[in-house]
A and B are shown apart, each in its own frame.
Chain A
Amino acid sequence: MTPPTPAKATTKAPSKAAEKAAEKAAAQAAQAAQAPAAPDAAAPGRKLFGYAPAPESRAAAGEIASRYGHYIDGESVEGSGRETLTTVDPATGLPLAEFAQGTAKDVDRAVRAARDAFPGWSALPGGERAKYLFRIARIIQERSRELAVLECIDNGKPIRETRDVDLPLVAAHFFYYAGWADKLEFAGFGANPRPLGVAAQVIPWNFPLLMLAWKIAPALATGNTVVLKPAETTPLTALRFAEICRQAGLPRGVVNIVTGDGRTGAALTAHPGVDKVAFTGSTEVGRSIARSLAGSRTRLSLELGGKAANIVYDDAPIDQAVEGIVDGIFFNQGQVCCAGSRLLVQESVHDEVMEALKRRMATLRVGDPLDKNTDVGAINSAAQLARIRELADAGEAEGAQRWSPDCELPATGYWFAPTVFTGVSATHRIAREEIFGPVLSVLTFRTPEEAVAKANNTPYGLSAGVWTEKGSRILWTAARLRAGVVWSNTFNKFDPTSPFGGYKESGYGREGGRHGLEAYLDV
């Protein structure tokens, strides 16, 4: 858990040699920092096998400009307004780049570009559109290290996750939907399904590039053109993606990216020129979008919050269940809409599971997101950190028992230690409200009926987990859970072929799989 190295707002694209030299210097500094280790010369209390820092090269992210405009009609353009926003490295709190706050005029310009591009793009044979998507997928694979490092710096999530989860899934989504582009007539939506037109897409900051892929890949495969607004704390990978669109030779105006905060998002989703709005984010914002679109012809799909139950029966494979609990709530610092934030554990194994969970949590490595051995990185923003703190404090105030492993958090940036609350009852705020952070609430149940009743007792319904070695119990439970995704004996597994979406206040519409095509087709 070394304090992260200070961020540089601007990094020049380095030569290979300079990068190597920088890495070597970092490695030497790391070696100097670590006392020479010998198997039998460790002081008591010190861990024998501490991992030396293994920092991924910050320079691998490529050049980060000091200032970014929008990407409209195949070109980088200055924003029409004067206002700019700043994206920071959450691990240090230091600024990375300035970017334009999109105005209504910028949005209008982008929607017009998308509208102009639509006839040409939608008239292309599916096989031709697929070529572009396959090309984008391959470029993403080729540039995956660069994108993984950039995502890590801009979002605060560990490089291990961007490298091993985000980027492979991003490429997989483009590959998957590229495959659909010339087979839409066989997708089950009629003989000649038509695209909708211009899709306005607003995505969150928790998986910036992955959410972009979830939105853009099916939209383009079905023949729509898009205007996408990335989140105001994580615009950099979307802007880098614009470069990839250019590299792939994508026709102008097919993909447009307008940056900015919620005001830009509101202008985009309410724009009369869009035919389809796709939003992933908070339930509150989703509701306001639904309100503004009510009565219009604009289609809407929403992927909103969650408060997923992770049900552990007494016959669960305990070691793997503990891994699933950890993955469910500490993956991406718990900033996952489908996070398993409510652990429902059968009372007869509560103590055993909690002991194993705490032991496992003590091995989580919290710190520099660029270190290849980091498990839990930084919280995305000061505002999010404040919300997590507020809810965690409310949990304590309402009488739940709070526990975190000993872990030294870096002095600068936004950090929150992995936390578990036991003795949580259904009336506590931490059992009802989405925390969107590395905070687990543990409740108990006695019978399968009670487990299902408690799991469903939430306004949300995005995901759920079931842990038992008994197959019939998995089926019985899954059939009764009102959640869009039910994982059994695993958690947080994503695949482009599998539809994802919510019940109730978690939204409507599905993304991924064959089902994901429907949201972008006139059916």
Chain B
Amino acid sequence: MPSTPPAAPPPAPTAAAAGPGAARLAGVAASDAALRRFLHGLPGVDAVGLHARAAALGTRSIKTSAKAYAIDLAISMIDLTTLEGADTPGKVRSLCAKARRPDPGDPTAPSTAAVCVYPDLAATARAALTGSGVKVAAVATAFPSGRAGLPVKLADTAEAVAAGADEVDMVIDRGAFLSGRYLEVFETIQAVKAACARPGGTAAHLKVIFETGELGGYDNVRRASWLAMAAGADFIKTSTGKVAVNATPAVTLVLLEAVRDFRAATGTQIGVKPAGGIRTTKDAMKYLVLVNETLGDDWLSPDWFRFGASSLLNDLLMQRQKLTTGRYSGPDYVTVD
């Protein structure tokens, strides 16, 4: 894509301050009315055409060396996730070991990008991952509903950051968004972003979850994307994985187009994370094709694209074993965590 500027260097977790984009979009959030005008002035999304494009890219045939590359890339992009009420330190430690070395029989398999847990287990994950390069991501702000007062959300965030989270996955208040209180959502994101700051000037990376399955259409998904990017999100993320409809190729395509257009408008590059329902290597390939043909090389790295997933990893490992050994193994040849 020759018309887009070259990629910004991958941000160290310290480079969390809002980019020049914030300045260029100054004024869009001057008032609820201004923000509404801006968001409703974005071009619409035609659902039929969007689905057709996502489906067409889903027919790409990824073979041999391209498949090997994509499998390793996908593994390295996984936010290996456990978000159960029954999570225990033992479970999280086991998951962290898996994230560090996904395939015990093959040290060439890359580590995952991060382990994603509830804030109270962030410290456990932090201890288990020290020195591995695998990041700790913690969900916060009254995950998954996002229904709590701002002080609670900020305390939740601060706890996660204090416990050593490198990344915070926040949820927006869909109720506020759907009732048109865009500025409230905008200001909440800004406040959570501020709460991601650590003493010493560094900050945790902020991922903003829209719960696209609850937003009632792609126009709203595009608006939510721009709202979050303008408010300072480092990543935009589709879903919590806790509702009926989670990430789909089509909704992810809307996010990808949004970050592409946002960088063209502001120069700031934002990451994308589809989450929920991505279970197979074939699924992961389709998402990587979407990234490849919508955004290109600049986003093909764990710094800019992530998968929120749990069972995906084992399927990728089985496919990887098939490619390296020429034989299908089976679920007993990858670890259960």
Contact A323 B49 (CB under 8 A): yes
CA of A49 to CA of B53, assembled, Å: 19
Interface residues as binary, B54-72 with A (CB distance below 8 Å gives 1, 0 otherwise): 0000011111111111101
The reply on A324 being an interface residue by CB < 8 A is: yes
Residues A316 and B69 in contact in the complex (CB < 8 Å), given A30-B63, A373-B60, A489-B49: no
Query: Which residues does chain B contribute within 8 Å of A247, judged by CB atoms?
Result: none
A-B pairs with beta carbons under 8 A, tally = 111
Residues A317 and B49 in contact in the complex (CB < 8 Å), given A358-B3, A362-B1, A362-B2: yes
The reply on A66 being an interface residue by CB < 8 A is: no
Query: Which residues does chain B contribute within 8 Å of A321, judged by CB atoms?
Result: 46, 49
The stretch among B186-194, B226-234, B292-300 that forms the contact with chain A is B292-300
Contact of A355 among B3, B50, B70, B257 (CB under 8 A): B3
Contact A36 B65 (CB under 8 A): yes
CA of A47 to CA of B66, assembled, Å: 11
CA of A315 to CA of B44, assembled, Å: 8
Contact of B48 among A34, A38, A164, A489 (CB under 8 A): A489
Query: Which residues does chain B contribute within 8 Å of A316, judged by CB atoms?
Result: 43-44
Residues A49 and B66 in contact in the complex (CB < 8 Å), given A323-B53, A363-B293: yes
The reply on A31 being an interface residue by CB < 8 A is: yes
List A residues 48-85 near B (Cβ within 8 Å): 48-54
CA of A351 to CA of B109, assembled, Å: 45
Query: Which residues does chain A contribute within 8 Å of B59, judged by CB atoms?
Result: 160, 164, 372
Contact B62 A490 (CB under 8 A): no
CA of A355 to CA of B260, assembled, Å: 13
| Distance of A322 from chain B, by nearest CB (Å) | 9
CA of A38 to CA of B300, assembled, Å: 12
Contact B64 A49 (CB under 8 A): no
| Distance of A55 from chain B, by nearest CB (Å) | 9
CA of A52 to CA of B46, assembled, Å: 32
The reply on B73 being an interface residue by CB < 8 A is: yes
Contact B76 A51 (CB under 8 A): no
List B residues 5-61 near A (Cβ within 8 Å): 43-46, 48-50, 52-53, 59-61
The reply on B158 being an interface residue by CB < 8 A is: no
The reply on A37 being an interface residue by CB < 8 A is: yes
Query: Which residues does chain B contribute within 8 Å of A373, judged by CB atoms?
Result: 60-61
CA of A317 to CA of B221, assembled, Å: 14
Interface-centre pick from A53, A319, A323, A358 (highest chain B CB count, 10 A)? A319
The reply on B301 being an interface residue by CB < 8 A is: yes
Main secondary structure of the interface of A (DSSP, over half): loop
Contact of A38 among B49, B61, B72, B301 (CB under 8 A): B72
CA of A318 to CA of B258, assembled, Å: 12
CA of A413 to CA of B82, assembled, Å: 55
Contact A359 B1 (CB under 8 A): yes
The reply on A139 being an interface residue by CB < 8 A is: no
List A residues 153-167 near B (Cβ within 8 Å): 160, 164
CA of A438 to CA of B49, assembled, Å: 21
The reply on A320 being an interface residue by CB < 8 A is: yes
Contact A53 B69 (CB under 8 A): no
Interface-centre pick from B2, B49, B72, B296 (highest chain A CB count, 10 A)? B49
Query: Which residues does chain A contribute within 8 Å of B63, judged by CB atoms?
Result: 27, 30, 51-54
Residues A51 and B66 in contact in the complex (CB < 8 Å), given A316-B43, A358-B3: yes
Query: Which residues does chain B contribute within 8 Å of A362, judged by CB atoms?
Result: 1-2
Contact A37 B49 (CB under 8 A): no
Contact B300 A31 (CB under 8 A): no
Residues A39 and B65 in contact in the complex (CB < 8 Å), given A47-B297, A318-B43, A324-B49: no
The reply on B288 being an interface residue by CB < 8 A is: yes
| Distance of B269 from chain A, by nearest CB (Å) | 16
CA of A49 to CA of B70, assembled, Å: 7
Query: Which residues does chain A contribute within 8 Å of B257, judged by CB atoms?
Result: 319
Contact B46 A38 (CB under 8 A): no
Query: Which residues does chain B contribute within 8 Å of A319, judged by CB atoms?
Result: 43, 45, 49-50, 53, 257
Query: Which residues does chain B contribute within 8 Å of A489, judged by CB atoms?
Result: 46, 48-49
CA of A358 to CA of B70, assembled, Å: 27
Interface residues as binary, A311-353 with B (CB distance below 8 Å gives 1, 0 otherwise): 0000111111101100000000000000000000000000000
CA of A42 to CA of B298, assembled, Å: 12
The reply on A243 being an interface residue by CB < 8 A is: no
Query: Which residues does chain A contribute within 8 Å of B66, judged by CB atoms?
Result: 34, 37, 49-52
Contact B64 A31 (CB under 8 A): yes
Contact B76 A39 (CB under 8 A): yes
Query: Which residues does chain A contribute within 8 Å of B296, judged by CB atoms?
Result: 47
Interface residues as binary, A177-209 with B (CB distance below 8 Å gives 1, 0 otherwise): 000000000000000000000000000000000
Interface residues as binary, A8-30 with B (CB distance below 8 Å gives 1, 0 otherwise): 00000000000000000001001
Contact B292 A30 (CB under 8 A): no
CA of A373 to CA of B292, assembled, Å: 13
CA of A484 to CA of B27, assembled, Å: 48
Chain B residue nearest to A49 (CB atoms) is B292
The reply on A261 being an interface residue by CB < 8 A is: no
Contact B61 A39 (CB under 8 A): no
Contact B3 A39 (CB under 8 A): no
CA of A48 to CA of B68, assembled, Å: 12
| Distance of A165 from chain B, by nearest CB (Å) | 11
Interface-centre pick from B43, B45, B70 (highest chain A CB count, 10 A)? B43
| Distance of A387 from chain B, by nearest CB (Å) | 29
Contact of B65 among A52, A315, A324, A372 (CB under 8 A): A52
Contact A48 B62 (CB under 8 A): no
CA of A54 to CA of B45, assembled, Å: 32
CA of A49 to CA of B292, assembled, Å: 7
Query: Which residues does chain B contribute within 8 Å of A48, judged by CB atoms?
Result: 69, 292, 297, 300
List A residues 113-145 near B (Cβ within 8 Å): none
Contact of A372 among B43, B61, B73, B292 (CB under 8 A): B61
Contact B45 A320 (CB under 8 A): yes
Contact B64 A39 (CB under 8 A): no
| Distance of A232 from chain B, by nearest CB (Å) | 32
CA of A164 to CA of B52, assembled, Å: 12
CA of A51 to CA of B70, assembled, Å: 10
Chain A residue nearest to B70 (CB atoms) is A49
The reply on A469 being an interface residue by CB < 8 A is: yes
Contact B46 A317 (CB under 8 A): yes
Contact A52 B49 (CB under 8 A): no
Chain B residue nearest to A31 (CB atoms) is B64
CA of A469 to CA of B64, assembled, Å: 42
Contact B65 A37 (CB under 8 A): yes
CA of A324 to CA of B56, assembled, Å: 13
Contact B60 A51 (CB under 8 A): yes
CA of A499 to CA of B48, assembled, Å: 21
Interface-centre pick from B60, B69, B110 (highest chain A CB count, 10 A)? B69
| Distance of B76 from chain A, by nearest CB (Å) | 6
Contact B64 A52 (CB under 8 A): yes
List B residues 222-280 near A (Cβ within 8 Å): 257
Query: Which residues does chain B contribute within 8 Å of A160, judged by CB atoms?
Result: 59
The 6 A-B pairs with the shortest beta carbon distances in the complex, nearest first, are: A320-B49, A54-B61, A37-B69, A372-B61, A320-B46, A317-B46
Q: What are 20 A-B pairs at a CB distance below 8 A? A: A35-B65, A36-B65, A39-B72, A39-B73, A39-B300, A48-B69, A48-B297, A49-B292, A51-B61, A52-B63, A54-B61, A54-B63, A315-B44, A317-B44, A319-B45, A320-B45, A320-B50, A323-B49, A372-B60, A373-B61
Known pairs A54-B63, A362-B1. 15 more at Cβ < 8 A? A27-B64, A30-B63, A30-B64, A36-B68, A38-B69, A39-B76, A51-B62, A54-B61, A54-B62, A315-B43, A319-B45, A320-B50, A320-B53, A321-B49, A372-B61
Which of A's residues lie within 8 Å of B, judged by CB? 27, 30-31, 34-39, 42, 47-54, 160, 164, 315-321, 323-324, 355, 358-359, 362-363, 372-373, 469, 489-490
